[in-house]
Chains A and B, each alone.
Chain A
């Protein structure tokens, strides 16, 4: 008994000691650590041959050149293209995140047909043949009924081969109801047409300006061609130039500006005209320019003298008269002053009066069609296709007035009024939506949703399962930009006409199809005159033929700039019109108020734009969401920015949950006390509160479009909303 216990214990101890002396425990220890260094669930990116592909970013209207790094067939990094005329190597965070879109699980991988109720997200995968047949069948039926004008189309632009193919499909089909998504371009185009007779695009020579007077434009948060604006701002810093930022909130642009004029929102036009008054009254205007190149100056002068003295405007704008005078005089005294408008990124057109007034400031200092100023370029003309083949149905349909009233007697100065979609929807039987997300990005989300509910057949071409795709009946997914060829004409924010070439970096990952090809195939499937209007076998042929000799330049350089383009004045007199009857009517139009009554809604809510929040077609990829401040989104809660003084009046503490109510909607938000915002004004960013997409984006914060509506500019019909009255409790 004793012996055996002793034996046993000795065995155990001896065995343990013996094992410790063998390599076994050491080997196991080492192997375990090696295993921990090579966990099979931590990915090891395969190496391979490296290469770069030059292309153009299409994620915003900026048109930056990009250089995409590849390892074998994989795209691994997007960089800004060095030497590109717009961004010269710089790139914004959306551009940098492009690969998260390319490889996103929210991509639509093949044509889909709705099976459940709309918006329920139940889909059936179909073939491209079925999809084209399905769309052509529906469109054919509508046309058969002799109502081709009941087809509408929404696209983010109206230039470039793809947009023009869509427009062409509409024309050949017989509908005038092509919509471009709204932006400040609408206002600028109207201004150029009314004052200079030019049908085309505005060029802003920010690179050569030495004084930028910005009426709320987010130079540093995505306005125009965003990276170009950044570069211009940095250049101004180096040259000791000046930026004056006018807006009620200390935006990034305001913080970096040499001077921030916090004005009461909605009074920008008043301020601009009061500055015009000062420049004229103090004899600081460019007399030579005004006499030689403008007409209607005397009438303009009379108007500002009568109605826009700095003293009379001071109370309304909240900017003291002497400050108005001082800034106006500094603007006029600058060598190359440039006034710009379009709030934020310019996603809302704004009032025509405001755009005109700002343009007039440029005219007063003689900086129109001049270096460092505003230039007017004719529309791109490289797409020179034969006229569409028109049958009777098409001819009749095209004669019908646009459903949104654009171009009518009431709204002669507008070309597209998507803000009237809710009214137009009654007469729309089919809607094509390309590269835009109206169900998310247009003001009054609820109204837009109601309009969609009225439209029996909605076709989405989206690459992603966004809010609009969710509300479609059929989805014919486009390649994403890194998988396709496309010409990218820049229509806003460049200095000269600039066309970039977007080209495939990788082979298409899924069963998607180029939107150009889809349009051509739908047209051909519609047969007859519609099909006959599309002579190209496929999109690439169409693109090559359309670009002509530009194709080779673009393939070689990736971008084509027409630095010799002649800025135009095409009015009958050959002069810039400062005032005539039409403009007089615009200038006398009423101010656009913030909807809602002040008694119920003591605050004013203004949406703002951030370069970290993509607020148009594209939703924020995970990388971007990751950079969003915890003072803007925390968990699922969105914040509203409010001055501590105002919050104190409402007994609201920092971080507290509150209900923000406007005449359009209400939302639960958290309070973010911020000294950078004007008392009694509250602000929320665009780009949050998605309901579609994945857990990286959906359900974070509040979509401010649910809380704001659109307001018709009395002069143009364009959406001129700059805010809405609100209450917070």
Chain B
């Protein structure tokens, strides 16, 4: 029924099946929307946050999705600036995942703040010394960039593309994409970094606080680095997952191996830097504030030394090594395991930087503060996942996300006339083929 909208030369499931899928995911989305409305109408008393946990699940989810969405800016950087041209076969998907991650982050923030109607004060009354101000500016600008990067993809829809205006617009936007990619990368360095800065500048919170280089605490650099390292892992993982779900190969192995290798080297270098930072913090930063590092991993039901092991070894060195060593990288099982471990590692890092920071007692007579999110918090955190799945479903169905899909999945030739017409059209628009421009 909707075949006119489906990219040419690819096969999609039937519309009813697609709609059924949408309804299932939509139900989850509706649940999240309900929770979101509760939070907006009744207020944040719907959460289990409290005066010790002003930052909790949502801020973690924010930091995590932004780190995972880092695949967009880093692949863009690699392709457009550094010139890794093979990555053009995966960059559309990286942009889409980035777009989903960043729009989700903004949505979560809009639920998280107590006065969403006033959230623009962050721009109007900006405090340039605040890391959150930096985050807000860079995040919104980068989201705009991602939107600009995503729009041409939408314009490539078969029907939209038929409008000459959009066709030309799309063409011109593609032409300027390198500029946007550069802008995006620049902005991303800052907002990924300032998200790290959010925790690192807290000199009242010895668990999070780090010394500075110029105005930026070490976490600033670590966050940027880790987003660049693990973001591509996430892009690869989602690509793999999409391939499994669609039952099709969508990206060629050489592309996957290249990005995996880059991700691996980034992870290894990052985790080495992170280890040095941790050692420095243990031996110098924390003791100067009167804390033995082991204090932060004791006397509470959750936060133990297992975290350091899980984050640095299991989520850092292990996936890093798997991805840089050719045989393991090219072993599908091991590679995907590494991607998953890496994703867990970076999410755990974001968790401890926010949640554990809040949990640790600072006043000598205070106690550990533990926290379990309410269902409303969980539902609103799952909401963007459902939204992301829906956006991927729609985009995959109607947009030429994977340039190699047609080649990797040839379908039975259709009746001659149509095939000819198509071929003709394809050849005339060869030089304008957006996804490959």
Contact = CB atoms under 8 A, between A and B. Distances in A.
Task: Indicate if A touches B (C-beta under 8 A).
Answer: yes
Contact of A6 (B115, B117, B118, B165): B165
Nearest to A9: B163
Contact of A32 (B117, B162, B163, B165): B117
B163 A36 contact: no
B120 interface: yes
A2 interface: yes
B121 interface: yes
Contacts, number: 20
A200 to B, nearest CB: 47
A603 B120 CA distance: 62
Contacts of B115: 33, 36
B264 to A, nearest CB: 43
A29 B163 contact: no
A79 B83 CA distance: 74
Interface in B112-142: 115, 117-118, 120-121
Contacts of B163: 2, 5-6, 9
Interface string B158-192: 00001101100000000000000000000000000
A35 B162 contact: no
A10 interface: yes
Interface in A11-47: 29, 32-33, 35-37
A10 B163 CA distance: 11
B123 to A, nearest CB: 11
A402 B115 CA distance: 67
Nearest to A35: B117
Contacts of A32: 117
A9 B118 CA distance: 32
A10 B166 CA distance: 10
Interface string B94-121: 0000000000000000000001011011
Contacts of A33: 115, 117-118, 120-121
A2 B159 CA distance: 10
A10 B121 contact: no
Interface in A342-399: none
B156 to A, nearest CB: 15
Nearest to A26: B120
Nearest to B116: A36
B285 to A, nearest CB: 33
Nearest to B114: A36
Contacts of A36: 115, 117-118
A9 B165 CA distance: 10
Contacts of B165: 6, 10
Contacts of A9: 163, 166
Contacts of A35: 117
Contact of B162 (A2, A10, A29): A2
A10 B165 CA distance: 9
A727 B183 CA distance: 73
B325 to A, nearest CB: 51
Contacts of B162: 2
B395 to A, nearest CB: 19
Nearest to B162: A2
Nearest to B159: A5
B106 to A, nearest CB: 16
Contacts of B120: 29, 33
A2 B162 CA distance: 9
B44 to A, nearest CB: 14
Nearest to A29: B120
A575 B379 CA distance: 82
Contacts of A10: 165
B354 to A, nearest CB: 25
B116 to A, nearest CB: 9
A32 B165 CA distance: 37
A17 to B, nearest CB: 14
A426 to B, nearest CB: 53
Nearest to B119: A33
A10 B118 CA distance: 32
Contacts of B117: 32-33, 35-36
B56 to A, nearest CB: 21
A6 B163 CA distance: 7
10 contacts: A2-B162, A2-B163, A5-B163, A6-B163, A9-B163, A9-B166, A33-B120, A33-B121, A36-B117, A36-B118
Interface of B: 115, 117-118, 120-121, 162-163, 165-166
Given A9-B163, A36-B115, 16 more contacts: A2-B162, A2-B163, A5-B163, A6-B165, A9-B166, A10-B165, A29-B120, A32-B117, A33-B115, A33-B117, A33-B120, A33-B121, A35-B117, A36-B117, A36-B118, A37-B118
